[in-house]
Amino acid sequence: MLKQMRKLTVELAEIAGKEKDGIIHRTFAHQNSSADRKDISKNDSFPEYVQKPFFTFEVLHESKRSRARACKITTPHGTIFTPAFVAVGTQGALKAVPHSVLDDANLDLMFANTYHLLLQPGHEHLQKAGGIHKFIGRNRPTISDSGGFQVFSLGLDADELDESKSPNKNNNDDKNNNNNNGERNHVGTGTKELKSRGKTKHKQQNLLEKVDEDGVTFRSYRDGTTLKLTPESSVQAQKNIGCDIILPLDELTKYDISLQELSESVDRSHRWETRSLYEHLKNVKEQAMYAIIHGGVDERLRKKSVEYLTSLPFDGYAIGGSLGKNREELKELLQFLMPIIPRDKPNHLLGIGDLPSIAHGVRMGVDSFDSAYPTQIARHGTLLSENGPVNYRKSEYREHFGKPAEILGNSSGDDECKCLLCRKHSLSYLAHLDRANEPMAWSLATEHNLHFMGRTMERHRQAIMNDEI
């Protein structure tokens, strides 16, 4: 049955390659011709998975008290110890701090966003530079996404569309804005989710133009150029970027779509991920590819996604799509999902970085987490601490001249925070820099939060080794 499903998936991918509208779009990478896809369709099954010598996975210890485990992932650019927090270097850079901070904070893996790197400086440019590791000067493990999350996030929610309209716009304008996304409604009703992308400077208008079987068409926020991303072009771009772990193109839908729409989206993601895997296996280039499990908070669809994707020779599994509207829904989802995901490969929870969710995810057996949350809140006035978030912009800290550890905790011992702020400065100095708009404020705060995440994950790893969680 699974073999037939794989064959059908490839046949659908072949159909998707046919010209639909006769419009020529600029694409990020060379598009496969119809002939190329016919060659692909002749392979009605994938080879059995064999662990690659350049990407190995080893379970160091499984807790006797929970599903938590401590593992080691070996990549061409170093080792990742899990559970791990993955810092987000959107454009190949951490905001406000150099890459060396990750090593100091004991964070092994960095996330790079394909969408942003495609637009600037371009994946061909990174290929000429010798790949992302040489380009950014960090010879440590990296992971890239397909670009899909950012592309689908370009679509505005219904309430955002209302806000973006001028008083003179009529109903026809509104209708056009809501119907230009192709076969599926990606604007939804705007329900807030645990993992959602808020309105940004790049999201002032609806830039998501069309979603069809072939891929997704959108406009660049930089210059308005019409672009198209397909499973094949996303993989080709990630090959040029050169991260150690890459992800297939998938479809991102909103939390509050209908069950039928969600089911269709899961099927489409499976077809796109299958095409991505075929493209990847043409030239592996010492890269691993994780599948992305979908299904929203619907257990039946999540189970279907696990069963299909685990039948294919992916190197690991990412948990994607909508993860619920709050932490409780995420908790319930992981309680159902983690026991049915195979434990012989690494897994990753996409886009989650808050401490309660990480703690529960670790107990359920999640290996790694990524989020821009710790670095983003640092630039907006918040330090992570043992006593909860600390808003360093509050007036009470303007005259706190003692060590920051007096407020943030961990003032002594091996677990002492070794960031520059905690070693050399005071919260009063940090507050002064922030009020003066000195970039050093955001550097100090960001470095502290990354160190905090590194220490937090090290505690989780040690607690697992000691069977404490």
Whole-angstrom distance, CA of residue 56 vs CA of residue 76:
10
**Closest residue by Cα to residue 412 from 391, 386, 450:** 386
- CA of 153: how far to CAs of 63, 203, 311, 326, 454, in Å? 38, 8, 29, 19, 29
Catalytic residue among 108, 267, 370, 434: 370
Tell me the HSE value of 303 on the side-chain side, using a 13 A CA sphere: 6
Would you state the structure tokens that stand for residue 71, as one six-digit string?
């593992």
Whether 315 sits among the annotated catalytic residues: the reply is no
Based on the residue annotation, tell me whether 298 is a catalytic residue of this protein: no
CA–CA distance, 160 with 286 (Å, rounded to integer)? 42
Q: What residues contact 364, with CB distance under 8 A and at least 6 apart? A: 66, 67, 68, 334, 335, 338
Instruction: Report the side by side order of strands in the sheet with 69-75.
Output: 56-62, 69-75, 78-82
Q: Which of 145, 267, 298, 434 is catalytic?
A: 145
Q: How many CB atoms lie within 10 A of CB 300?
A: 10
User: Are 6 and 44 spatial neighbours (Cβ–Cβ below 8 Å)?
Assistant: yes
Residues carrying an active site annotation: 145, 370
